[in-house]
Structure 1
Amino acid sequence: AGFSASASLLSLAWMIASYQKVLRDSREDKMPMSYQGAVVQILWHLFTIAARAIAFALFASVFQLYFGIFIVTHWCIMTFWIIQGETDFCMSKWEEIIYNMVVGIIYIFCWFNVKEGRSRYRMCIYYVITLSENAALTILWFLYYDRKITSDFDALILVCVVSSSFALG
């Protein structure tokens, strides 16, 4: 299971970085992304998504119902944020709303730029929210985990893995 999850995570990070490279390389107004840049993108997404997935798994192991509520709430907030940003990828308003809802699902795990122009501030807001959520989920898990199953030392290691993975990303 660990190998499969790791392979899936690496594939996802690779796919996002490949998409970003192809998108950037296809634009005449942008400099092409180097392969070193693509590797940095892979590592960025690998570590941030890994931290997110581990924080989710830890929280869900203790708070199953609340995890579902958290995911739906996060998705709704992100979808409304994207809609408020007034993207313009689709022909009709309803198609655009559905597109924004799908991007809201992507935003559960990682940043994906959907609007032309400077994205630095939007990306910073997204990662501040993600950092806060990861910290809250991990802290809540740490306060309530089953000490019969997980030792205090192992729990501390897991908290360090979540924080260091996000920091490396």
Structure 2
Amino acid sequence: MAARLEATNSVPEIPKLLHTWEKAYVFMGLLVFILLGSSLLVNSFSLLWYLEGRRESKTESLVKNLDGRDTRKENHLKNLCSLKILHVLQMGVFLRYASVLRISICGFCCEKLYTTDEVRSLKYDLCILRFMETFSESAPQLVLMLTIFIMREDLGPITILKAIGSASAISVSVTMYHRSLRSFLPSKANQGWRSSVVYFLWNLLLIGPRVAAVSLFASAFPCYIAAHFLCSWMVLFLFASQLNRDFMDSIGGERLYQATVGLIWYFSWFHVTRGTSRWISTIYHTWIAVDIVILCGLWIWQTKESPPYFDLPLESYVIFVVNMLLYFSGLGLKVIYYKYCHPKFTLQIEPDTDSQEGEDEVDFHCMVSSQPKPSTRVNKRMRNLAETFYS
């Protein structure tokens, strides 16, 4: 009789266990989709930039063999085929790292001369690709991780510390991208870490609440988070298509870049237009703040409607208030950064005028108007981003 009662009590646990397994498979599928989608995006940009570089190199002198037959076309087709195969196999980024390593080894061991601009160009491309990977892979993974922990009601101190560490890693990646842009300043030695620390903090305080709000909404409405992302991304993509049209050489590449900007804007602000962008940034942050309020409000409403699953009557309001306070603190730090730490914009620096020590100035006249030497290779993509950020 006791064995029969024990078997009867264990029957309701079977559907719950099956439901847990189904959720695990869904989460695993989402993780694979995020990783694969991010890899496809990054390798697509890498291949497009390789193709653009090879189009620019067509003006070089042709290499001929002893018979006078043109072998450059054959070698070009072979290299192009190899490039496409490597990028289809998602090895494009590793190929770029291998190029940087090869140049470094040849310059150190074989004393083979490479221009500094050539090495910087490769590093700058890798920096942009890492920045795109941050918001196409790391940020969505953090949202997925927080959603799982919230649905399992496993928001302990260790989990919160993990989430803060992941958000800090995203902010560090954004800060490193910012430091790479700063390398286009004429007075690179005067770059202090004070502005980078402020830059890191306001990005952390803006990205963290945004990720938290999306995760809270996804935990309460898992079937509607995809619709929210697609609608928001479509609006941001259309907005980005009206602001920037000069990052890529091809129309298809430019559309892909604008779509990527929309993805980045879903999590964080990104400069895409020259000139003053104060009003654009104000509209963006206002829209994001309203969206955070809506997402958190819907989550609070769901905690009241489904108490067996979300029993947080008071904690939900505390989380909402803390989230908004962090976001507005990030906006305050951003204002402080642009008022006191952002480099000044000058069209031209006079030769006999000495800038004060510790002061950054951007010389776009020298960076844009001056013609580089024939042996100099300028990364126009990073240069355009630097012009956009410091204008």
TM value normalised by structure 1:
0.91
How does 1:3-152 map onto structure 2 within 5 Å?
3-28=161-186, 34-145=192-303, 146-148=306-308, 149-152=310-313
Query: Which AA in structure 2 matches 1:160?
Result: V
Displacement of 1:164: 1.3
C-alpha distance in structure 1 between counterparts of 2:288 and 2:205, whole Å = 13
C-alpha distance in structure 1 between counterparts of 2:191 and 2:234, whole Å = 33
Alignment equivalent of 2:317, drawn from 150, 156, 163: 156
Displacement of 1:2: 3.8
Check 1:110–1:28 CA distance in 2 against 1; reply closer, same or farther (3 A cut).
same
Displacement of 1:6: 2.2
Displacement of 1:63: 1.2
| Unaligned 5+ runs, structure 2 | 1-158, 331-391
Segments of 4+ moved more than 3 angstroms = 1-4, 27-30
Displacement of 1:82: 0.5
Q: Aligned to 2:295, what secondary structure does the other structure show? A: helix
Work out whether residues 213 and 295 of structure 2, in 8 Å CA contact, stay in contact via their aligned partners in 1. Answer: yes
Query: Which AA in structure 1 matches 2:329?
Result: L
Work out whether residues 243 and 272 of structure 2, in 8 Å CA contact, stay in contact via their aligned partners in 1. Answer: no
Number of corresponding residues: 169
C-alpha distance in structure 1 between counterparts of 2:290 and 2:187, whole Å = 35
Displacement of 1:147: 2.8
Displacement of 1:139: 0.8
Other-structure match for 2:153: none
Identity over aligned residues, as a percent? 26
Work out whether residues 87 and 115 of structure 1, in 8 Å CA contact, stay in contact via their aligned partners in 2. Answer: no
List per-residue Cα deviations over 1:10-63 (Å, max 9, x = no partner).
011111122123213413499x65311111111111111110011111111111
Query: Which AA in structure 2 matches 1:140?
Result: L
Query: Which AA in structure 1 matches 2:321?
Result: C
Work out whether residues 209 and 324 of structure 2, in 8 Å CA contact, stay in contact via their aligned partners in 1. Answer: yes
C-alpha distance in structure 2 between counterparts of 1:50 and 1:98, whole Å = 26
Comparing 152-161 and 17-26, the one that deviates more: 17-26
Query: Which AA in structure 1 matches 2:313?
Result: D
C-alpha distance in structure 1 between counterparts of 2:182 and 2:274, whole Å = 12
C-alpha distance in structure 2 between counterparts of 1:16 and 1:96, whole Å = 22
Work out whether residues 244 and 272 of structure 2, in 8 Å CA contact, stay in contact via their aligned partners in 1. Answer: no
> Cα RMSD between the aligned structures?
2.1
List per-residue Cα deviations over 1:60-80 (Å, max 9, x = no partner).
111112211011111111111
Q: Aligned to 1:5, what secondary structure does the other structure show? A: helix
Work out whether residues 13 and 45 of structure 1, in 8 Å CA contact, stay in contact via their aligned partners in 2. Answer: yes
Other-structure match for 2:155: none
Q: Aligned to 2:169, what secondary structure does the other structure show? A: helix
Work out whether residues 175 and 196 of structure 2, in 8 Å CA contact, stay in contact via their aligned partners in 1. Answer: yes
Comparing 69-78 and 140-149, the one that deviates more: 140-149
List per-residue Cα deviations over 1:72-123 (Å, max 9, x = no partner).
1111111110001133110011110001111111111000102222221111
| Unaligned 5+ runs, structure 1 | none
TM value normalised by structure 2:
0.41
C-alpha distance in structure 2 between counterparts of 1:150 and 1:131, whole Å = 26
Between the two structures, name the one with larger relative contact order (CA 8 Å, sep ≥ 6).
1
